[in-house]
Structure 1
C-alpha cells in the first residue's frame, strides 16, 4: 500500500469518515486482517463510517483490477453507495447501491462498458475463453445479507447484454461454465455433429444481445440472440445458478450470406434457369441447407442432456420481378 489515509472521527454525526488516496494497493489474500471493504461480523450498516476512497492501481488476489473510486455514507438505518467506478484499459464498471439495515439486504445497480471482453475475462481469471468483443452489460441486483455476502440463493434482479463482434475460443471443460453454454462448445456431440465447423473450434459472433431476469438464483431469458456470419442462435429458458443446471430451448439457423442474395437475384431475372443451374453446381444447392435446427438442453452444466426436437425448412423469398416499362 502506498498513499495517504485520513480519519475524520466527528463527521456524519459521529460515525466518522475514512478518506484514502492510494497510488497502489496490492492485496494478496494472505493477510490476517479483513480485506478492504469487507464488513466485520454482525456489523450494522448504520455503524459503518462514510468512505471516500481512490486507488490508482488495485491488485486483488492476483487479479489486476485497475483504478477504483468508491464513495458512500450512512443514511438512517442504511449505508448508501453513492458511487462506484472501476476502470482499466479493457473496460469500466459504474454503479451505485444501498445496504439496507432493516431488511438486511443489498441492492446494487451496475453498468459495465466493455472495450475488450476477452481481456476483461482474463483479468477475472478466465483467460483464453473469448477473443475481442465490446459492448455493455447492465445489472440491477438484490440479495439478502451484506454486500460481501453475495449469494445465488437469494439473488434477484435483471440483466441486459449487448455486445459487438468477437469470438468464443476453444476452451477446456469446466472453465467458464456459463460461457460454455453461450458458446455451445460444452454441449455433447449431438449438436456439434450438425455444426462441426461452426462451434467446435470457436464460434465467431457479430452481436450478442438479450435480457434476463433473476429469481432466487434462477435466471430466465426469452430473447437471447447470438448472431454470427455462419449461424444465428436463439436461446430461451432457464439457467439455475444454485445447482448449475439448465432447461433451455436453442434454435440454430445456419446463414449463407451472399450466396442466398445471389440466388434470389437470379430467381427474378429472365435467365432464371441458367442462373439456378450455375448456382446449384457451384454452391451445391444452398437453399437445401437453409434449415433451422431446434434442441432442448437440460441437466447439469458439466453433463448436459441435449435432445434434437426438430428441423424446420426456412423459405427464402425470391427477389421481386422488375417492373416492365413500355
Structure 2
C-alpha cells in the first residue's frame, strides 16, 4: 500500500458505526481519521475529522499516478467534513466541510496537459502559462514557493476560498473564489504581486555593468513595496477545467489585493 501500515478501531452504535481511530503510516505519509457512519442500507452519511501529513507532496502524488503536479512540498492538512454514503464514498464533489492546508518549500513545475484536472481548486496548468506571458522569466521554469496556506469550504458541489496564499521568492499569489467540482468550472480572482528582485532582472544590463547593477539594487531598496505594487496584476479565471479562460482585469496601482473580490459574495 502507498499509505504503508494501517491501524483501525471501531465499534457499533445505535445509529451505525463509530470509527475511533484510523491511522496509516509510511516513511513519508501519515493519515489519522475519526468519525461516524450513521444511517441504514438505504440511506447513510459519513462525518469525519482527518489530519494528514506528507513530507514530500510531489513524491506522494507521483506514487498515486499524478506525476508532475508538485515538486517537494512538506504538507499538513486538516479536514472536518461530511458526505452521503459510506466512508469509502469520500468524494470532493459531494463534500460539505472545511479543509485547512499548509505546504512548505516546494515548486509548481511546468506540467503536462491533463495534470491540472487533479487540482481543480486552481489551474496549476494554465495559470503559470499566462504568468509566463506577462512576467517573463519569473515563471518560465515553473514557480518555486516558500508556503501555500489557505482554507477551502466545500458545499453543494463547489469549493470556495477567500484567499489561498502562495508565497515564493519571486512573487506572492492569492487565489479567491469558487471552483465548481460538479460543474468542473472556475469563477476565481487571482492577484499576483511579483517581488522587486524578480521584476527588474535586467536593470544592471540596461544601466551598464557593475555600477548599473548597484544602482538597480539601490533603486529597489529605496522604492521597495511601491515597485512590487506597480508590477502587480489581477486576473479572473472562468470557464471549464479543460479550457479555463484567464483574463487580465487590472494591473499596477489599480490592483488592491486587500479588497475581497466580488466572486466571493456567495461564499457559504
Cα distance in structure 2, aligned partners of 1:198 and 1:183 = 18
1:171 correspondence with 2:121: no
Gap change, CA 1:292 and 1:259, over 3 Å in 2 = closer
Q: Deviations over 1:135-161 (max 9, x none)?
A: 311111211112223344531100001
1:243 correspondence with 2:183: yes
Matches within 5 A, 1:223-262: 223-257=163-197
Gap change, CA 1:301 and 1:256, over 3 Å in 2 = same
Which one of the candidate residues 288, 291, 294 is aligned to 2:231?
A: 291
- Is this contact kept in 1: 2:96–2:156, CA < 8 A? yes
- Is this contact kept in 2: 1:188–1:304, CA < 8 A? no
Cross-structure match for 1:109: 49
Structure 2 spans left out of the alignment, 5+ residues: 201-210, 255-268
Cross-structure match for 2:98: 158
User: What SS class does the counterpart of residue 243 from structure 1 fall into?
Assistant: coil
Q: What count of residue pairs does the alignment treat as equivalent?
A: 237
Cα distance in structure 2, aligned partners of 1:149 and 1:211 = 23
Cα distance in structure 1, aligned partners of 2:58 and 2:248 = 31
Cα distance in structure 2, aligned partners of 1:154 and 1:84 = 21
1:83 correspondence with 2:21: yes
Higher relative contact order (CA 8 A, sep 6+): 2
TM-score (norm 2): 0.79
Cross-structure match for 2:88: 148
Cross-structure match for 1:311: 251
Q: Deviations over 1:270-301 (max 9, x none)?
A: xxxxxxx9568545965556421000000111
- Is this contact kept in 2: 1:152–1:216, CA < 8 A? no
Cross-structure match for 1:70: 8
User: What SS class does the counterpart of residue 148 from structure 1 fall into?
Assistant: helix
- Is this contact kept in 2: 1:122–1:128, CA < 8 A? yes
User: What SS class does the counterpart of residue 125 from structure 1 fall into?
Assistant: coil
Q: Deviations over 1:233-254 (max 9, x none)?
A: 0011001111211100000000
1:125 correspondence with 2:53: no
- Is this contact kept in 2: 1:106–1:142, CA < 8 A? yes
- Is this contact kept in 1: 2:121–2:159, CA < 8 A? no
Gap change, CA 1:307 and 1:195, over 3 Å in 2 = same
Q: Larger Rg: 1 or 2? A: 1
Gap change, CA 1:283 and 1:163, over 3 Å in 2 = same
Cross-structure match for 2:37: 99
Deviation at 1:168, TM superposition (A): 1.2
Cα distance in structure 1, aligned partners of 2:91 and 2:122 = 22
Cα distance in structure 2, aligned partners of 1:110 and 1:129 = 23
User: What SS class does the counterpart of residue 121 from structure 1 fall into?
Assistant: helix
User: What SS class does the counterpart of residue 219 from structure 1 fall into?
Assistant: strand
